[in-house]
RNA sequence: GCCGCGGUCGCCUAGCCUGGUUAGGGCGCCGGCCUGCUAAGCCGGUGGGGGAGACCCCGCGCGGGUUCAAAUCCCGCCCGCGGCGCCA
């Protein structure tokens, strides 16, 4: 009993606690009872089966040493009888084993003590930053989200209502076309043109530059993964609602670089002196958005594909809390540099993904919508992914074994960040001021915009 | 896509043809002994699971099959290397 998964340990030692976790996540806790009894039965049968296997092994070895043909025949007959019994038990064990794995795979991670308990709206803001522009009509809602939550956020009241990002793209700047994209690919797809495309790449380079400067290692991962791998990284819900499958092949499009980055050390052992391993991945992301219904149907806030720079960290169990603060801190720095007003919230138990024990979201203020919207999500997955992917930790001292912890956080998601820029840096005449931090990444290109994006009379292409 | 060869413990490798010792050896790593210190040397450990424990089971890319018995034989798949073909 060496390397053990924390959830399995709790299942065995304190199933009531685990049931409580499920309840806090608004999941059916009865699965815990089932998993508990199946695991118990599985262990019991295993003892029995191992004994049978042992006696059979003993007889088999005797056969090998027996020269006398008479004696041999007798032993072989005895072995045959043992196999009959063994096979019956093995059939039961196999069923039980499959059922056990299904149940274990359905269990969510534990929950960190400081996670707010409740459904979606029970989130707790932990910081606000920037001086949001608040249209007069949104002032009340804004104060509700700030002052009433105990944060006195400095803001600027404006009398003109900013144009929403979708209209900005489509009708003011005329640098996006979701209607044509709808014709050729479907809703939630888009064409972007000229300045917006430059902006997309500049944002990615900006995030990559900042993170690699901090020592994060740059990775371009595969954009597709096998079932076995992707199943180790995400939970059923995400699978169902987010993942595209390649027809006729055992391949799935990644919904984020987190998936292939987590898989990078699948089935391997990592020595404690190599940790933490900090990675920054860049990739397109493909999402079905199956559960989204008509939410955010306009524009490019919630789309089937976008680019993202992702932070991913492999850590020692005792360091994962600190590194969780670090990666959300990195995202905070990026948004401060961009000058986009935001807040960070602590996601409540009911809204946590199954893999995470704790999650922070960074939400940007959206002046046209009059509310904060998710830009970044930072999760501490502890050993949940590592267990499923078999990423072991080996401690030099005593060669003790366990599982590493994994953490992930968005750095920049291109389209979402663009929506925040289009709304926050919009002037009354429709011009969009480009954040100074991006200048460096636009400078080398003659055709790229530098200081602002101007409205156009018509779509450029 | 086709043909050939290969995949063994953290890494390298033996074993496979010809089924049956405890999967042997080297390196690395951990612990101990020795030592004034270092080097060297010696002993043990170094995949997963179960059991309170003595121990036991499983594990040779993955999944099946044959057999009393499979790393070894057979079938399918995956991956790698070489060759051929095809394509940008």
pLDDT band at A216 (very low <50, low <70, confident <90, very high): very high
Report how far residue A202's alpha carbon sits from residue A441's, in angstroms, rounded to the nearest whole number.
5
In whole angstroms, B47 C1' to A154 CA is 58
Residue A286 CA and nucleotide B81 C1' are separated, in Å, by: 34
What length does chain A have?
461
What value does the mean pLDDT take over residues A188-216?
A: 97
Is the CB atom of residue A2 positioned under 7 angstroms from any atom of strand B? yes
Find and list the nucleotides of strand B having atoms within 7 Å of a protein beta carbon: 10, 20-22, 29-31, 45-51, 56-58, 68-69
Please determine whether the domains at A6-106 and A120-453 fall in the same fold group of CATH.
no
Phi, psi values for residue A135, rounded to 5°: -65, 140
Domain boundaries, chain A: 6-106, 120-453
**Cα–Cα dist A349/A352, whole Å:** 5
Helices assigned H by DSSP within A107-193: 139-145, 165-167, 178-184
Pairing verdict, β A269-271 and A392-395: parallel
State pLDDT tens for residues A81-125. 888 888 888 888 988 998 999 999 999 999 999 999 999 999 999
Q: What is the mean pLDDT of chain A?
A: 93
pLDDT at A3: 47
> Any idea which nucleotide's C1' is nearest the CA of A269?
B10
| Fold adopted by A120-453 | BirA Bifunctional Protein; domain 2 (3.30.930)
The pLDDT score that the predictor gives to residue A447 is 95
Mean pLDDT of A134-153: 93
Residues 368-397 of A with CB under 7 A from strand B: 392, 396-397
Contact A60, A79 (CB under 8 A): yes
Q: DSSP states of A386-421 as a string?
A: HHHHT-EEEETGGGEEEE-EEEEEEEEEHHHHHHHH
Chain A 260-279 contacts with nucleic strand B (CB below 7 A) = 269
pLDDT tens-digit map of A290-349: 888 888 999 999 999 999 999 999 999 999 999 999 999 999 999 999 999 999 999 999
pLDDT computed for residue A2 by the predictor: 42
What whole-number distance in Å separates Cα of residue A31 and Cα of residue A104?
A: 9
Contacts of A155 (CB under 8 A, 6+ apart): A131, A132, A133, A134, A142, A146
Those residues with Cβ within 8 angstroms of residue A9's Cβ, 6 or more apart along the chain or in another chain: none
- Backbone φ and ψ for A268, nearest 5 degrees, come out as -115, 165
Dump pLDDT digits (tens) for A10-21: 999 999 999 999
- Distance, CA of A5 to C1' of B25, in Å: 35
Q: Is the CB of A285 under 7 A from strand B?
A: no
A83 touches strand B (CB under 7 A): yes
The whole-number Å distance from A258's CA to B7's C1' is 29
Q: Which of residues 88-127 of A touch strand B (CB under 7 A)?
A: none
* Cβ–Cβ < 8 Å for A96, A41: yes
Structure tokens, A300? 């490019």
Fold of the A6-106 domain = Helix Hairpins (1.10.287)
Judge whether residue A177 has pLDDT over 90.
yes
Percentages (nearest 5) of helix, strand, coil residues in chain A: 50, 20, 30
pLDDT at A232: 86
A385 preceded by cis ω (within 30°)?
no
Strand order across the A371-380 sheet: A124-129, A342-346, A358-366, A371-380, A405-413, A305-315, A277-286, A217-219
Q: What percent of chain A has pLDDT over 70?
A: 99
- A398 CA, B36 C1': Å apart: 28
Gap from A74 CA to B18 C1', in Å?
A: 26
Q: Which of residues 43-62 of A touch strand B (CB under 7 A)?
A: 43, 46-47, 49-51, 53-54, 56-61
CA separation (Å) from A205 to A225, A309, A361, A375, A412? 25, 9, 22, 17, 10
* pLDDT given at position A359: 97
Q: Which residue is nearest to nucleotide B68 (CA to C1')?
A: A76
């Amino acid at each position: 009993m060496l390397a053990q998964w924390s959830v399995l340990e709790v299942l065995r030692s304190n199933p009531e606690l685990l049931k409580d976790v499920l309840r806090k996540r608004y999941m059916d806790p009865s699965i815990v009872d089932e998993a508990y009894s199946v695991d118990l039965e599985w262990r019991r049968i295993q003892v029995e089966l191992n004994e049978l296997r042992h006696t059979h092994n003993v007889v088999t070895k005797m056969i090998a040493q027996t020269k006398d043909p008479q004696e041999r025949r007798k032993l072989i007959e005895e072995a045959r009888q043992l196999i009959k019994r063994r096979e019956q038990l093995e059939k039961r064990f196999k069923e039980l084993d499959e059922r056990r794995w299904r149940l274990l795979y359905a269990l969510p991670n534990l929950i960190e003590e400081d996670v707010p308990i409740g459904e979606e709206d029970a989130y707790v803001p932990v910081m606000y930053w920037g001086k949001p522009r608040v249209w007069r009509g949104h002032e009340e809602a804004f104060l509700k989200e700030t002052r009433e939550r105990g944060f006195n956020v400095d803001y600027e009241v404006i009398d003109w209502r900013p144009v929403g990002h979708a209209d900005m793209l489509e009708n003011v700047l005329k640098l996006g076309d979701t209607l044509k994209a709808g014709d050729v690919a479907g809703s939630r797809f888009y064409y972007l043109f000229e300045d917006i495309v430059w902006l997309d790449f500049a944002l990615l380079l900006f995030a990559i530059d900042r993170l690699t400067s901090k020592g994060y290692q740059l990775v371009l991962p595969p954009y597709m993964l096998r079932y076995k791998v992707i199943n180790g990284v995400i939970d059923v819900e995400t699978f169902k609602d987010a993942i595209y499958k390649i027809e006729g092949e055992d391949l799935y499009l990644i919904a984020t670089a987190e998936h292939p980055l987590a898989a990078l050390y699948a089935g391997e052992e990592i020595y404690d002196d190599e940790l933490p391993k900090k990675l920054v991945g860049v990739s397109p992301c493909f999402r079905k958005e199956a559960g989204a219904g008509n939410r955010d149907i306009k524009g490019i806030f919630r789309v089937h594909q976008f680019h993202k720079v992702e932070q991913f960290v492999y850590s020692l169990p005792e360091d994962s809390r600190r590194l969780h603060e670090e990666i959300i801190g990195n995202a905070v720095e990026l948004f401060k540099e961009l000058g986009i007003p935001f807040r960070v919230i602590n996601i409540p138990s009911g809204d946590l993904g199954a893999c995470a024990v704790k999650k922070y979201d960074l939400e940007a203020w959206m002046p046209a919508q009059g509310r904060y919207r998710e830009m970044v999500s930072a999760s501490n997955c502890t050993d949940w992914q590592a267990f499923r992917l078999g990423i072991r930790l080996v401690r030099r001292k005593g060669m003790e074994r366990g599982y590493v912890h994994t953490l992930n956080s968005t750095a920049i998601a291109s389209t979402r960040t663009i929506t925040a820029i289009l709304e926050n840096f919009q002037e009354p005449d429709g011009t969009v001021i480009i954040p100074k931090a991006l200048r460096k990444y636009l400078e080398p290109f003659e055709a790229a915009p530098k200081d602002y994006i101007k409205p156009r009379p018509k779509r450029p292409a």
